[in-house]
Amino acid sequence: MKIGIIYTSVSGNTKELALLIHMLFKKENIAVHLYRVEEFSLNYLDEYDAIAIGTYTWGDGEIPFEMEPLYKAFEKRERKTVVTGIFGTGDSFYPHYCGAVDRFRDLLKVNTNLAVTLKVELLPQIQDIAQCEKFVDLFIKRINSSLKDYCF
Ligand SMILES: Cc1cc2nc3c(=O)[nH]c(=O)nc-3n(C[C@H](O)[C@H](O)[C@H](O)COP(=O)(O)O)c2cc1C
């Protein structure tokens, strides 16, 4: 079982969220590879059984340009067996709060086995930890149930 977190971050908010989620997986004794999107080769995407994606939102509710190749890769392939989760940070000052998370969610819901979505306002705070734990818990539960589905 290969699990990855792929994230992007400019000012550090989404990086903190990705690190927190990564740490919570470790706490559950689940090995997860953590990558900034620039470090991740899309050639290896199909090797992963489960992927969590982390993104901030840019422009008017848009996906950051560096996440577009990843978005397009999921647009091209339908992989209903891969478990996914999408998380991100945004600023509710903007009309389309965490719009990039919504856009990934809509795509992953159709083309993958989307388990969970999480939006956090700017830098994660102590009160966000419970939601992050829930993200990890639901993600792991979905992996476990998908393993049962594919074990004949
Ligand atoms: C030019 C610009 C446009 C933004 N547009 C949005 C937006 O449409 N929706 C939103 O929720 N946040 C928006 N944000 C806020 C960022 O997504 C937010 O600050 C995020 O936490 C940054 O993540 P990072 O620290 O990981 O780079 C925008 C920020 C900037 C600078």
Question: Does the C-beta of 91 come closer than 6 Å to ligand 1?
Answer: yes
Cα R_g (the chain), whole angstroms: 14
Place of tokens 């990934």: 104
Please state the φ and ψ torsions of residue 115, each to the nearest 5 degrees. -95, -40
pLDDT tens-place string over residues 42-58? 999 999 999 999 999 99
12 CA to centre of ligand 1 in angstroms? 11
Range of 21's domain? 3-149
Work out which ligand 1 atom sits closest to the CA atom of 62. Answer: 8
On the question of pLDDT at 150 being above 90, the answer is no
Please state the φ and ψ torsions of residue 149, each to the nearest 5 degrees. -60, -35
User: Two tokens at 63?
Assistant: 């996906």
148 CA to centre of ligand 1 in angstroms? 39
Q: What is the pLDDT of residue 127?
A: 97
Residue whose C-alpha is closest to residue 120's, from 23, 32, 12, 3: 12
For the chain, the domain total comes to: 1
Question: Does the C-beta of 87 come closer than 6 Å to ligand 1?
Answer: no
CA atoms of 13 and 50, how far apart (whole Å):
23
Question: Does the C-beta of 117 come closer than 6 Å to ligand 1?
Answer: no
pLDDT tens-place string over residues 70-106? 999 999 989 999 999 999 999 999 999 999 999 999 9
Beta pairing, strands 50-56 & 3-7 = parallel
6 CA to centre of ligand 1 in angstroms? 18
User: What is the pLDDT of the chain when averaged over all its residues?
Assistant: 96
Buried-exposed string 52-86: b where 16+ CB fall within 10 A, e elsewhere: bbbbbbbeebebbeebeebbeebeeeebeebbbbb
Q: What is the pLDDT of residue 152?
A: 57
133 CA to centre of ligand 1 in angstroms? 23
CATH number at 12 reads 3.40.50.360
